Chains A and B, each alone.
Chain A
Amino acid sequence: MADVVLLPGLLRQIQLVAGLRWRILRNRLRKKNNRMDLIGLIFSGVFGALMVLGLSVAFCFGAHTFLSTGRAGWMALLFWIIFIWWQLFPVFVAGFGTSFEFRTLLRFPLSLGAFYLIGLAYGLADFSAIAALCWLLAMTIGATIAMPDVLPAMLLLCGLFVLMNVTLERLIGSWLERLLARRRSREIFLAIFVLMMVSVQFISPMVQRYGKVAQPWIGRMLPYLAPFPPSLAGGAIAGAAGHHVGELFLGAAGVLVYVLLFSGLLWLRFASQYAGEELAETAAPARALVRHASAAGDQPDTLSRLAPQVAAVLRKEFRYLTRNGFAFLTLLLPPLLVLLFSSQMKMVGSSGRFRTPSPDLFFPGMMAYLVLILMAPAYNAFAYEGRGVQTYFTAPLPFRNVFLGKNLMLVSVLVFEILLSMAVLAFRVGLPSTPRFVATLAAIVFTVVGQLVIANWSSLSFPRKLEFGQMRGQRQSGMAVLVAFAAQIVLGAISTTILFAGGWTGNRWLPAEIFAFLAAAAVGGYFASLDALTALAEKKKESLIEALCR
């Protein structure tokens, strides 16, 4: 029989889990390469504390103002802000990656009740929850100063509101955990998330354009929010402020119903986890043998003009691009951004009236921005190779072929994206004059090829492993970011100077001529750099493999 005589109490278990979380954080920060994380943590800690403190003052002031000016019904707005924060912030922070899994605690002797309560306590230890608790406290203080009679109601409602929020947050978290356990769904979710983030950019032009039309609709929607917990809590406080006991109890009872509902659902989720719910990635073995005879190898090779190894790397890069939701989105971003900026530029120049920006300025500016975005991944080109990077060193090939394959893929994407964006620009803004158009194209060749040399060097020198479909911990090396920034600043400054040289000298074709010369020099330099990069790859292979095989 095991020597476990007495199980630790619930409080002790919660304390142990808190200690575990702290040790995980501390040990992560101890690593030498995470010193920057520590600095980042200190900065974000100070920033977070200031934000929570500042907003606490705002909540206190808001609650005080609403109650002292007879607008107690507006208290619902404050509850809504806290509710949205509490439920959305953890979803953003969770970042679609794997972290310390709370459910791994199940291997210890815990009852379902203890597991449930530890789960709730775990939810209360999050930054979003602590911030929300501070704001609720501030609201209570503000409300009490304005109207001391509402203190019991505030305490009751805030207590129920906290319970409802923490339960719902854990419920959403456990649903998300289930949804994101599978790699494919994680990648799709990330893609949707990024698209949502991009579409947020369109809110401003949409509001400017359709804001007045939409206002009455929004006004008509507001009563439908009444049955939701923040409105119920706000309504209850308004009832307490107006000495309407019925409204107070109705609101409190409504929030209580939500608490019970979410608690029941959470209990069911935790019970499934407790019973050993399977969330593994690996698919079960297939029973039926499904053969798909492929004749692809017998068909003429569209890449036959390339060296087989370059073609192999190119095909692999293409497959990786199409399977990486985040990278694949970069294909959608450029035309979307062109659309967005052309809309915003029209607004900026308007002062009430729409004005089309000058294509001679807008076109090169937009192209420079696109090159900036699309070249960024090139500075850490091996990020998604993982352990596969070893193949490049065990296979009989000079490393230049790997770079050629990778760079060719990037250039193909760039050409496709730039052509697509040009079509959108021609439709939205119009194309620039011929000299400016040719100069811009030559400038693109110069800046892209010039950057490729630097980016290849950066990829070997500052590699950082990234995972598909994850946001947590997906950061480039600080040095790679710095190199990219410096290279883009320098090339951007050179290009801008040359572009304006046409105007200063009166020779409109001068920039095109200079850029054509620079582009030819950059292409020559690129091919000359490949052998040096091959030698560098041999020198750097250990650090590259170590960084990517972690």
Chain B
Amino acid sequence: MPDVAIQIEKLTRRFGGLTAVDAVDLQVAAGQFFGFLGPNGAGKSTTIKMLTGLLAPTSGRMQLLGLDFATHSIEVKRQIGVVPEGMGLFERLTGSEYLHFVGQMYGLDRVTTRRRSEELLEFMQLSDRPKTVIADYSHGMQKKLALAAAVIHGPRILFLDEPFEGVDALAAGALKELLGRMTERGVTIFLTSHVLEIVERLCSHVAIIDKGRLVAQGSLEELRAGIAGEAGSKTTLEEIFLSIVGQGGAQRPQLEELSWLT
């Protein structure tokens, strides 16, 4: 098994005149729980889309588990699981039908697919409505189902775009436990989230992207050490994030103009 799960070199994506991802270099070791952070519109989802084959890069190179995505896309896709932005569900199937569908799309046999589907639906507490189509699920249920579909084939890298958004605390706890166990088994998890507390609790390594450029990367300790050296006792990930992206609050909207509200 290669030591490096994800290797990105000079990855760039342009949309007309806008450079959404600008020459990003990134390396994620196998088995890492990796948090990919950034403000809205920074290029997080665009990066994940390129890493999962949903978007072609304008330039640059991506290697996953030692395989070049451009030349071995099918082999790479076999090894990865994805919860994309918007979840990518077929909303007119039931949860069970969807998991069967995805299992077979990843080449699992029917018996294995059925067994894993039942276990996943049970674990995600989605097994009590077998006849309900996904369109009638709540947002949190859809999120859990999307995660179940992403792991049904036992991926070695898991890409999660805002996996905890809209998920209740109980389910979030179960998901965190599941993800934690997956990393213990050597699965690499690449996650974006706006909930920095969750990222801080789960992730061992973090990268921060802003305006398409990677502005920080390393373990939480390394990032803390870097900030502590510059500005004193910045300990939480939120403070690190604001310090790097917000430059100490320079980008924050100013409240003085809302005096009538405050």
Given contacts A395-B77, A396-B78, contact A324 B92 (CB under 8 A): yes
A312 close to B111 (CB less than 8 A)? no
Total cross-chain contacts (CB, 8 A): 126
Partner of A286, one of B101, B104, B128: B128
Please give me the residue from chain A that is nearest to B107 by CB atom.
Answer: A308
**A220 is an interface residue with CB less than 8 A from chain B:** no
CB of A539, distance to nearest CB on chain B (Å)? 8
Report if B176 contacts A (CB, 8 A).
no
Contact A542 B56 (CB under 8 A): yes
Once bound together, how far apart are the Cα atoms of A56 and B84, in whole Å?
A: 56
Complex CA distance for A387 and B110, rounded to whole angstroms: 25
B105 adjacent to A309 (CB under 8 Å): yes
Q: Is the CB of B82 within 8 A of A394?
A: yes
Binds B, one of A262-270, A296-304, A474-482: A296-304
The interface residues of chain B lying within 8 Å CB-to-CB of A386 are 89-91
Bound-state Cα–Cα, A495 to B5, Å = 57
Contact indicator B128/A288 (Cβ below 8 Å): yes
Q: Which of B80, B90, B113, B130 is in CB contact (< 8 Å) with A391?
A: B90
Closest A residue by C-beta to B53:
A393
Looking at the assembled complex, report how far the CB atom of A486 sits from the nearest CB atom of chain B, in whole angstroms. Answer: 30
A315→B106 contact, CB < 8 A: no
Interface positions, chain B 60-114, Cβ under 8 Å from A, are: 74-78, 80, 82, 84, 86-93, 96-97, 100-102, 104-111, 113-114
Task: Tell me how far the C-beta of B139 lies from the nearest C-beta in chain A, rounded to whole angstroms.
Answer: 9
B106 CB contacts on chain A under 8 angstroms: 395-396
How many angstroms from the CA of A384 to the CA of B87 in the assembled complex? 16
Chain B residues within 8 Å of chain A by Cβ, number: 48
Q: Are A394 and B53 in touch, CB under 8 angstroms?
A: yes
CB distance from B74 to the nearest CB of A (A): 5
> Which residue in chain B gives the minimum CB-CB distance to A292?
B130
* A428-468 vs B, Cβ < 8 Å mask (1 yes, 0 no): 00000000000000000000000000000000000000001
16 contacts between A and B (CB under 8 A): A3-B260, A183-B136, A283-B136, A290-B130, A296-B114, A297-B110, A298-B111, A298-B114, A309-B104, A320-B90, A390-B84, A390-B86, A393-B54, A396-B74, A397-B105, A468-B135
**CB closest chain-B residue, reference A304:** B110
A316 touches B93 (CB 8 A): yes
A254 CB-CB contact with B under 8 Å: no
**Which residues 239-262 of B sit at the A interface, judged by CB distance below 8 A?**
260
Report the Cα distance A188→B174, complex, angstroms.
38
Are the CB atoms of A289 and B128 closer together than 8 Å?
yes
Does A291 make an interface contact (CB < 8 A)?
yes
Q: Of all chain B residues, which has the CB nearest A309?
A: B105
What residues of B have a CB within 8 angstroms of the CB of A395 in the complex?
Answer: 77, 102, 105-106
Tell me whether A468 and B110 are in contact (CB under 8 A). Answer: no
B235 in contact (CB, < 8 A): no
Q: Which chain B residue shows the least CB distance to A324?
A: B92
Do residues A391 and B102 form an inter-chain contact, with CB atoms below 8 A?
Answer: yes
Given A387-B89, A395-B106, 11 new contacts (CB under 8 A): A183-B136, A294-B96, A308-B107, A309-B104, A315-B100, A316-B93, A319-B92, A387-B88, A391-B105, A394-B82, A395-B105
Closest to B94 in A: A319
A288 to B82, CA, bound (A): 31
Chain B's nearest CB lies how many Å from the CB of A161? 42
Q: How far is the CB of A298 from chain B (nearest CB, A)?
A: 6
Say whether B237 faces chain A, with CB atoms less than 8 Å apart: no
Interface residue A388 (Cβ < 8 Å from any Cβ of B): yes
Q: Which residues of B contact A294 (CB under 8 A)?
A: 96, 114
Residues 385 to 435 of chain A near chain B (Cβ within 8 Å)? 385-391, 393-398
Residues from chain A with a CB closer than 8 A to the CB of B132 are: 283
The minimal Cβ–Cβ distance linking B73 to chain A, given in whole angstroms, is 8
B55, B92, B109 pick with most chain A CB within 10 angstroms: B92
Q: Judge whether A278 is part of the interface by a CB distance below 8 angstroms.
A: no
| Closest Cβ neighbor of B83 among chain A residues | A394
A388 x B90 contact (CB < 8 A): yes
B129 interface contact, C-beta 8 A: yes
With a CB–CB cut-off of 8 A, which chain A residues contact B108? 308
A282 touching B137, Cβ below 8 Å: yes
In the A-B complex, the 7 residue pairs with the closest CB atoms: A297-B114, A388-B90, A390-B88, A312-B104, A396-B77, A395-B105, A396-B78
Of B54, B76, B115, the residue contacting A390 (CB under 8 A) is: B54
Q: CA of A283 to CA of B141 in the docked complex: distance in angstroms?
A: 12
Chain B residues with CB under 8 A of A384: 92
Report if B8 contacts A (CB, 8 A).
no
Cα distance, A306 to B77, chains bound together (Å): 21
Task: Give Cα distance in the complex from A468 to B135, angstroms.
Answer: 11
Min CB distance A386 to B, Å, is 6
Any chain B CB within 8 A of the CB of A323? Answer: yes
Closest to A545 in B: B54
Contact yes or no, A387 B54, CB < 8 A:
no
With a CB–CB cut-off of 8 A, which chain B residues contact A308? 104-105, 107-109
Contact residues in B for A324 (Cβ distance below 8 Å): 92
